[in-house]
Chain A
Amino acid sequence: MAVEGGGSPMPDTDVAVLREIVAQNQVWPRMAAKYGVDNPIPPWKTSLDGLCDALDHCASDADVPDFRARREEEDALSATIYSSLPHPESQLVSLAHSLISRGVITESELIQRLSTIRARLEG
């Protein structure tokens, strides 16, 4: 996969924390059916859109993918190791994978942050 903007996420790279999230399978179609909710997309979708737009317009020194690279990596990852996920879950997890592969964030800090946020939301 040719990627512009530096770095290459290597679709076969394994990110354990993301693999575990996929395995939990809390995808929106399943959750919506479980709770009888009829909105077709998860409530975090527009925030993810805002996140992607903010990344596309940022002027950071970090190895943040530009729009085209982000979408190419998303396509590659969504078609391979995250092919079991529906959209927009595949978009979200692919973005996380790209940011970790590029060193923008580390897997360990993501694990720590996931734990902190879950505790906050369930508190």
Chain B
Amino acid sequence: MADHDHDHDHDRTVKPMVDEVTDFEVLEIALRELCIEKGIFTAEEHRRFTEFAEQIGPTPAARLVARSWLDPEFRALAIAEPMTASKEVGVDWLEPTGFGTPSDFTAFEILVDTPTVHHVIVCALCSCYPRPILGNSPEWYRTPNYRRRLVRYPRQVLSEFGLYLGEDIEIRVQDSNQKHRFMVMPMRPENTDGWTEDQLTEIVTRDCLIGVALPRAGVTTNVVVATRPAVHPVGE
């Protein structure tokens, strides 16, 4: 910063910060440094993966859906060749980090909702998630509570997110795995006639792309749910 005179009040203009070194902050650095010293990975690799984690988010997936709503040809491409359609919104599944990292993924599929079929994704085994196009998974997605109960009681779990679907709508729970990732393409909601791609992208939230919410005009935020531990999480 060049000319920084003090005619303003830092107490009012600087956001508060945690002004002590926490054990967790120190632990993260320690693990990282020890792994680097032992040659498990390099500092450069860590930096690049961290940058990847910082820049990913659900916007490419939201844009893919919005474009599909507006452009029938793109919609057909998204269904037939989802990895090609992903590239058109800036995500290369074969090299998701953009720096030559071998990809885990061999398949990506877009699950298209209809008036009578609603999709929702889960990873019952661990927490596989379409990170390159949807960003980091929300905390609740990782919990054994969501992972186990969604498969058994999908209507009940969806209702806990505020999504109540009629009995005439079939719910398909799609289990992800390390080699096969999914996202949901919800139906375009009412009251969005004449909207631009940017406007539509805003209402396709992360929750809509997982399938625990439906897009609605005027709703651009995710549902906040209390994360609960499983009652009998291990060794059942």
Asked if A105 and B24 sit within 8 Å, CB to CB, the answer is no
> Bound complex: CA of A68 vs CA of B177, how far in Å?
10
Contact call B39/A60, Cβ cutoff below 8 A: yes
**Closest residue to B104 on the A side, CB-wise?**
A67
B21 to chain A, nearest CB (A): 5
B33–A117 touching, CB < 8 Å = yes
Q: Is B164 an interface residue (CB 8 A)?
A: no
Closest to B139 in A: A87
Shortest CB–CB separation between residue A54 and chain B, in angstroms?
Answer: 4
Contact of A37 with B16 in the complex, beta carbons under 8 Å: yes
Given contacts A104-B40, A110-B30, A113-B34, contact A54 B49 (CB under 8 A): yes
A48 to B40: give the CA distance in the assembly, Å: 15
**Number of A-B pairs, beta carbon distance below 8 Å:** 155
Say yes or no: A71 contacts B23, CB within 8 Å.
no
Q: How many residues on B have C-beta within 8 angstroms of the other chain's C-beta atoms? A: 52
B19 at interface (Cβ–Cβ under 8 A)? yes
User: In the complex, A43→B48 CA distance in Å?
Assistant: 17
B7-61 with Cβ < 8 A to chain A:
15-35, 38-41, 45-54
- Which residue of A31, A50, A64, A105 is within 8 Å of B49 (Cβ)? A50
* B178 at the A interface (CB under 8 A): yes
A71: B residues at CB distance < 8 A: 126-127
Determine if B162 is an interface residue (Cβ-Cβ < 8 Å): no
Alpha-carbon gap, A94 to B32, bound state (A): 14
Contact of A24 among B23, B31, B33, B178 (CB under 8 A): B23
* B72 interfacial contact with A, CB 8 Å: no
Taking a contact as CB atoms under 8 Å apart, the answer to whether A113 and B30 are in contact is yes
Whole-angstrom distance between the Cβ of B134 and the nearest chain A Cβ: 14
* Contact A109/B24 with A37-B16, A50-B47 known, Cβ cut-off 8 Å: no
| A50-B50, A54-B45, A83-B229 known; A96-B126 Cβ under 8 A | no
Q: Do B53 and A49 have beta carbons less than 8 Å apart? A: yes
Considering only CB atoms, which chain B residue lies closest to A95 in the complex?
B31
Is residue B1 within 8 Å, beta carbon to beta carbon, of the partner chain? no
Select A21's contact among B24, B48, B54, B142, beta carbons within 8 Å: B24
Q: Most chain-B Cβ atoms within 10 A of its Cβ — which of A21, A62, A113?
A: A113
Picked from B31, B142, B233, the residue with its CB within 8 Å of the CB of A87 is B142
A37 touches B49 (CB 8 A): no
CB distance from A50 to the nearest CB of B (A): 3
- For this complex, 9 residue pairs linking A to B, each with C-beta atoms less than 8 Å apart, are A1-B235, A21-B24, A21-B27, A35-B18, A44-B25, A54-B49, A76-B233, A99-B35, A105-B35
Given A49-B136, A60-B41, A76-B234, 12 new contacts (CB under 8 A): A35-B19, A36-B16, A47-B28, A47-B29, A51-B31, A51-B32, A60-B39, A68-B178, A71-B126, A79-B230, A79-B234, A89-B24
9 interchain residue pairs of minimum CB distance = A50-B50, A49-B53, A79-B233, A71-B126, A50-B49, A53-B49, A26-B22, A54-B41, A113-B30
Interface, chain A (partner B; CB < 8 A): 1, 11, 21, 24, 26-28, 31-32, 34-37, 42-44, 46-51, 53-55, 57-58, 60, 62, 64, 67-68, 71-72, 75-76, 79-80, 83, 87, 89, 92-93, 95-96, 99, 104-105, 109-110, 113-114, 117-118, 121-122
- CB within 8 Å of A: which residues of B? 15-35, 38-41, 45-54, 101-102, 104, 125-127, 136, 139, 142, 144, 178, 227, 229-230, 233-235
